[in-house]
Structure 1
């Protein structure tokens, strides 16, 4: 088969995968189809109707979280019927994936076959699939920043796309720092000017909304959702899941992020000086994922690009690391390795694998512009990995770290997935049934008359969590909660005075 036929074949695979992905998105219930695009669309219509931008809340409870300039892009699009916009958005997202592959391929001087393979790998990754599912703008932010940082634009325009991307979503502002570190001062100035001009335009068109955003809404990260949930693979999200106290978290987070960004920027500057701008840009992009307080799956396209650059690097261990990272960014390790996830140390690593991976990329980089292969160069990373695994196997999960924990309330009583235990009379003090699922374990039971309350502790030294006692019928008090793992958990039944009546640590 000729080279041209192979290229056509791989691009055909990309096209088929793109169509299948788009169709699967379209077949989702209307209320769950391209939900983020629906927020953009609804917010734009609200602004067009003269309503305050940051008071808009979509039917799914999602608010508009970007700067006012971002909504200016969607105002004309809101004049289209929403189904037509959804179809166009899916097509544009797939086109953006292809454009990213072309940009990376050009930066690596890769063959056309390699470019097509990069496009296919990107498309099936979890971040790109998340962009398709939710109708996210993140893929376009990555494309703008990457093309600009790689220097593809004419000299007099470089930096402008980074400034516009930052005006839509603030995290690309780190590229301005990168321009300064790499002594690309004019690029930094143009990026800063473009960002300021876009913010000023937003203020002129939407003065009240701009004032509200820049003086308060910008800092209200709680509007975005539960930052401790597994979907947030930023460093802050990982630290929250590790059980750090609210007083300690900001200090530890700030120190870690300062170190991670400093190392990443230093490595990016060196790569830029050697002409490896695609590696430098992706490294800075990974730093934005690590540093942002919120890095949902669709923000992590940078990490997928980093994995591909590692696969293309010199050195067997770098390639192996790239393959591992690419698998991590495509599959949910907590589901695939659910047997291991029952052990709390492993559970923590698997559930934070993408966060740990992006931090590792920021700290280790991709090596030099051209890596030198030495004898036994593989030995040190292999020893490091083995030592890390041994330490991991012997280290318990941080006390209180249980990101999937949830205690159910009266509003959930009608759901048979949560309340499945058949009450039996005369049980004292507690009787329950355990059900194990792929990534979590559920406990549902009833309590006797002597029990006044329940509390659950995920790990020794962790904070105790109150379990509500519910009364679905006369004479019956039930409870239900879920946890990632019960391996080190303890359920305490309490008297009215708070004394421990009985404790349960066996959940077989």
Structure 2
């Protein structure tokens, strides 16, 4: 329907279709998936309540009836202090509201440029995208657990947006705050460094250190307990071999539940980091910063000792990059049709995108929840790890652009489709090209 006038009949049909889609998505989310009863926000709420109202210690608190306690750096607890002022239902409502806001921002930054470039009925396309987003298992679990993952992704991509819109001198604060709340996003500081954004890397590192120091000043004992003990005690977060741990460490722990080899894990981590650094730098040299951010998110999931299924919201930017690549190839092919369109690269990429999306909605890894040993479990229980590795290892075709046009800073795809890039003080090496227009 692209390019046609939006007639009343078409508008009515789209409204009906949108309502049906939203209702069907809501019914599915309420009735089908596993519900986590806001377990993690319960840990946060109980920790802060015990810390503030009962003179407790952050890392001594365990949620009643479980052996799970607070596992994040002390600054995360400091940032959650407002929970001490509200009731439990209000805390749950705030958790959901913040995740909704973060989801809206991510859809606007990640999918918005594709929609604005290709769809005339944008509201309908955003509705479809929102429903597809909500059905992803990592997204469902983030809401159901009351997790902070979507907020952290939004903080990191806020810096990507600043880089894309020529305001790179302010970038790094989001990444620094995300790293102080949870250690996984710290890899983005290294990403800024290896891609020539030394100022932004310094801002990110400085922000993380300042936030960490603030937490240490507020509760020195908690900071000492985290950095000397809790950080290294992986038993606090659960069994490494649990099927929800979709990291390289999780794979090795399921192969050797009793004594997973740290040497093998370290070797795997080094290989992944070497490949990531090579591909991330190449992506930025080609002007595709969005791919660089997506690759960093994938690598962070793989090298983290613990990557629960709900942490895999970090995979979403890579899925969007893959879909955008397929879409660009499809549009190019319309101008020069392939003799065998069914076997064309865009068609194959669409099949891959659809297959990955369905798998990430399927909760397939839980089929091996009670027994993650054996050849079938090696393949099935680690399905999300193989997806993450595949997205990191398999290079995408380079983004095409008109001859002679300088490579755009690809993070503009996160910035709403159009931006002005300006070379100036405080911008990194990757920002020094003047960019007149981004098309997303």
Q: Which residue in 1 is equivalent to 2:56?
A: 51
Task: Name stretches of at least 5 consecutive residues in structure 1 with no aligned partner.
Answer: 372-508
Greater shift after overlay, 216-225 or 310-319? Answer: 310-319
CA positional deviation for 1:326: 1.3
Is residue 323–residue 350 contact of structure 2 (8 Å, CA) maintained in 1?
A: yes
Is residue 243–residue 365 contact of structure 2 (8 Å, CA) maintained in 1?
A: no
Q: Which residue in 2 is equivalent to 1:368?
A: 398
Higher helix share: 2
CA positional deviation for 1:291: 0.8
Partner Cα distance (1:207, 1:334) in 2: 40
For residues 220-266 of structure 1, give each alpha carbon's deviation from its aligned partner in whole angstroms, at most 9, with x where no partner exists: 111000110111110110111122772x6111111111111221232
Matched, 1:142 2:153: yes
Within 5 Å, give how 1:328-367 maps onto structure 2. 328-333=359-364, 344-367=374-397
Bigger Rg, which one: 1
Q: 1:39 aligns with which of 43, 47, 50?
A: 43
CA positional deviation for 1:267: 1.4
Q: 2:242 aligns with which of 211, 223, 229?
A: 229
Greater shift after overlay, 108-117 or 248-257? Answer: 108-117
Is residue 216–residue 223 contact of structure 2 (8 Å, CA) maintained in 1?
A: yes
CA positional deviation for 1:182: 0.9
Is residue 44–residue 70 contact of structure 2 (8 Å, CA) maintained in 1?
A: yes
Is residue 57–residue 64 contact of structure 1 (8 Å, CA) maintained in 2?
A: yes
Q: Which residue in 2 is equivalent to 1:194?
A: 207
CA positional deviation for 1:294: 0.5
Q: Which residue in 2 is equivalent to 1:283?
A: 295
Matched, 1:92 2:113: no
Q: Secondary structure of the equivalent of 1:226?
A: coil
Distance change (3 Å), C-alpha of 1:354 and 1:205: same
Is residue 322–residue 353 contact of structure 2 (8 Å, CA) maintained in 1?
A: yes
Q: Which residue in 2 is equivalent to 1:293?
A: 305
CA positional deviation for 1:342: 11
Equivalent residues, number:
366
Task: Name stretches of at least 5 consecutive residues in structure 2 with no aligned partner.
Answer: 327-344, 402-440
Q: Which residue in 2 is equivalent to 1:462?
A: none
Q: Which residue in 2 is equivalent to 1:317?
A: 348
Q: CA RMSD in A?
A: 3.2
Q: 1:242 aligns with which of 255, 264, 287?
A: 255
Distance change (3 Å), C-alpha of 1:24 and 1:141: farther
CA positional deviation for 1:319: 2.8
Is residue 163–residue 173 contact of structure 1 (8 Å, CA) maintained in 2?
A: yes
Q: Which residue in 1 is equivalent to 2:316?
A: 304
Distance change (3 Å), C-alpha of 1:370 and 1:250: farther
Is residue 71–residue 236 contact of structure 2 (8 Å, CA) maintained in 1?
A: yes
Is residue 180–residue 211 contact of structure 2 (8 Å, CA) maintained in 1?
A: yes
Partner Cα distance (2:392, 2:178) in 1: 21
Distance change (3 Å), C-alpha of 1:22 and 1:82: farther
Q: Which residue in 2 is equivalent to 1:167?
A: 180
Q: 2:279 aligns with which of 263, 267, 270?
A: 267
Q: Secondary structure of the equivalent of 1:228?
A: coil
